[in-house]
Amino acid sequence: MRRSISSILADRARAEPGAVVVIDQDGELTAAELDDAATRLAHLLVDRGVGHDDLVTVSLPNGRDFVIACAAVWRAGATPQPVSRGLTDAERAAVEAVARPRAAIGRRPHSPRIPWIDSLVAPPVDRALPDLVATSWKAPTTSGSTGRPKVVRANAPAAMDPTVPVAEFLPLRATQLVAGPMTHSATFTYAFRGLLTGHRLVILPRFDERAWLEAVQTHAVTWALVVPTMMHRLLRLPVSERDPLRLRSIETLLHMGAPCAVDLKRAFLDWVGAERVVEVYAGSESNGLTMIRGDEWLEHPGSVGRPIGGTEVQIRSPAGEERAVGEAGLVWMRRGETSAYDYIGSASRRDPLGWDTLGDIGRLDAEGHLHLIDREDDLIIRGGEKVYPVEIERVLEQHPDIRSAVAFGVPDDALGQRIAAVLDVAGATVSETELMEWARRRLGMRSPASIRIVDEPVRDDAGKTSRRRWARA
């Protein structure tokens, strides 16, 4: 039976008060402690004017405070709006202007008119709050990787049946490792859907490959979400640190977030075991999804799977004509009669028949498997030739000293655009000349005309980056 998110958490606290529901760098948090802290903060939110269906911005680092803050927002009958702490002041101002949150928790809001809650410590209150269900359970902000961040308001209410698995790849009762930023839509969704169906969350402050492996072993993690950037960094560890026995507790590893290089995926499956790896393609908008298990992927390398959950997929030309099997074009999806989301302050591309696109380019094979290529907005046109940045990045990341790479187009008077790249070498001693020569031997005319070496990750822990921002840097 569907119940409010608030009542699900309260019922768990009554039934299992001492059950550990969160483990972070500060220790353990029990169901009763979570319920109590959320109740106190919910009263504070209500006292600050937060009402039913209001948005409340949550901009906190990974950890128990993030979980408490969102639980409090639901208990107040409002909708959490997770926002990255890494947004620029201009981006934060733009998001606030369209979202119009009733309050902000964590990072100080740009507008002084928005009530700011900088501490989650609140006094006990002996009066009960009504059991309210917000009409939207989340309103995440997109990464802004292809432009200005957008607020995506889910049309699903803040209620669910905690006895029914959310998806076949998200089981009931698991120990889930949370290593991506909880402000990111996918991490947020699976962490909280898991928590509400009996998961214990082991939360890392940020992704670190050694800390990730240590957490899997220490806490006997059974379920985790990773992105290709994490997979690449894990496989860069010395073989001596990657004993497959360290992963013996894992039942399912879900990966998503970006197209995954075939060589990287194959190596990851060899390490983890193909039957334990599931890939899902979906956006913050939940307008459709595809899924493929590792053993099926080995028969369809490069695929992100076939549609599930009532999803339909079409590949269309820019003019809107359906492409033939094997031809690349825009990926359009449709799931259900109504939209799963609404943009706040922006318009979607959903057509009158319910088809929608997130701007990804892909193709379908003869068996209906979807293969992603890149983002429409990131395409580089070099002298009339179409160049997909992700294909450049996959080659560059094969270099043993490159931890991550971002390729993008910059203006060029003769060619229209030329290819540039930023390479994270994580402190390795390697010169631009060496890397340019290495890339030229493998990429030929598609080799970057210029590169920039840095020593910090060029993608966040959700695997996202803004090629436009790098191009302007």
As a whole number, mean pLDDT of residues 101-116 equals 96
Percent of the chain with pLDDT over 70: 98
The pLDDT of residue 128 is 87
Q: DSSP character for 141?
A: B
How would you class 62 by CB atoms within 10 Å of its CB: exposed for 0-12, middle for 13-18, buried for 19 or more?
A: buried
Closest CA to 174 of 198, 191, 203: 198
Q: What is the dihedral of CA 434, 439, 440, 445, to 10 degrees?
A: -150
pLDDT tens for each residue of 425-464 = 988 888 899 999 999 999 988 889 999 999 988 888 888 8
The CATH number, out of the four listed (3.40.640.10, 3.40.50.12780, 3.40.50.150, 3.40.50.1000), of the domain defined by the range 3-230: 3.40.50.12780
Q: Is 301 helix (H, G, I), strand (E, B) or coil?
A: coil
Task: Return the bridge partners of 293, or none.
Answer: 278
Locate the DSSP E strands across 171-302. Answer: 175-178, 200-203, 223-226, 252-255, 277-281, 289-293
Lowest-confidence region among 81-85, 114-118, 344-348, 377-381: 344-348
Question: Is residue 347 predicted with pLDDT exceeding 80?
Answer: no
Tokens of 50: 């937060």
Q: Where are the alpha helices (DSSP H) in 26-63?
A: 31-47
**Burial category of 307 from C-beta neighbours within 10 Å (exposed 0-12, middle 13-18, buried 19 and up):** buried
Please compute, for residue 215, the number of CA atoms within 13 A of its CA located in the half-sphere on the CB side. Answer: 25
Please, what's the largest Cα pairwise distance for the chain?
A: 72
Q: Identify the pLDDT of residue 351.
A: 85
Instruction: Name the residue with tokens 């390479």.
Output: 423
Q: Which residue has the higher pLDDT, 401 or 414?
A: 401
Of 63-67, 199-203, 225-229, 416-420, give the lowest mean pLDDT range: 416-420
What do you get for the CA distance between the two ends of the chain, in Å? 52
- Considering only CA atoms, which of 288, 224, 306, 227 is closest in space to residue 261? 227
Counting residues of the chain whose pLDDT is more than 90, the rounded percentage is 70
Position 143 scores a pLDDT of: 54
Distance CA 361, CA 335 (A): 19
Rounded Cα distance, 205 and 26, in Å: 10
The number of beta carbons lying within 10 Å of the beta carbon of residue 71 is 26
Q: Which residues does residue 335 pair with via DSSP β-bridges, in sequence order?
A: 311
For residue 230, pLDDT beyond 80: yes
How far is the C-alpha of 106 from the C-alpha of 59, rounded, in Å? 5
The per-residue pLDDT for 19 is: 97
Nearest to 4 by CA among 170, 188, 162: 162
Task: Name the average pLDDT for the chain.
Answer: 92
Q: What mean pLDDT comes out for the span 41-50? A: 96
Q: How far apart are CA 67 and CA 192, in angstroms?
A: 8
User: What is the average per-residue pLDDT within 336-342?
Assistant: 81
CATH superfamily, with its number, for domain 259-376: Luciferase; Domain 3 (2.30.38.10)
Per-residue pLDDT tens digits for 264-316? 999 999 999 999 999 999 876 767 899 999 999 999 999 999 999 899 999 99
Q: Distance between CA 110 and CA 119 in Å, rounded?
A: 17
| Mean of pLDDT values over 382-403 | 87
Whole-angstrom distance, CA of residue 356 vs CA of residue 331: 8
The amino acid at residue 223 is W
Whole-number Å distance between alpha carbons of 94 and 467: 19
Q: Which pair of tokens denotes residue 308?
A: 């599930």
What pLDDT is attached to residue 146?
Answer: 47
Split at pLDDT 50, 70, 90, the class of 67 is: very high
Shortest CA distance to 137 belongs to which of 6, 31, 28? 6
Cβ atoms 397, 404 nearer than 8 A: yes
State the Cα torsion 25-28-34-36 to the nearest 10°: -110
**What's the whole-number mean pLDDT along residues 222-247?**
95
Q: Would you state the torsion angle of the CA atoms of residues 106, 109, 113, 117, taken in this order, to the nearest 10 degrees? A: 10
Q: Give me the mean pLDDT over the 377-406 stretch.
A: 87
Angle at the Cα of 422 (from 373 to 255), degrees rounded to 5?
45
Taking the whole predicted model, whether its pTM rises above 0.75 is answered as: yes
Burial of 429 (0-12, 13-18, 19+ CB in 10 A): exposed
Residue from 34, 39, 45 nearest 81 by CA: 45
Instruction: Kindly report the length of the chain.
Output: 473
Phi, psi (deg, nearest 5) at residue 92: -65, -40
How do residues 139-181 score in pLDDT, each as one tens digit?
998 755 445 678 999 999 999 999 999 988 999 999 999 999 9
**Which pair of structure tokens corresponds to residue 439?**
């890339």
Instruction: Tell whether domain 379-472 is in CATH 3.30.70.20.
Output: no
Distances (CA, A) of 86 to 36, 92, 147, 460: 30, 9, 15, 9
Q: How large is the average pLDDT for residues 322-339?
A: 90
pLDDT in tens, 259-273: 888 999 999 999 999
Amino acid occupying residue 318? P
Domain ranges in the chain?
3-230, 259-376, 379-472
For residue 224, the Cα-to-chain-centroid distance in whole angstroms is 13
pLDDT for the residue numbered 145: 47
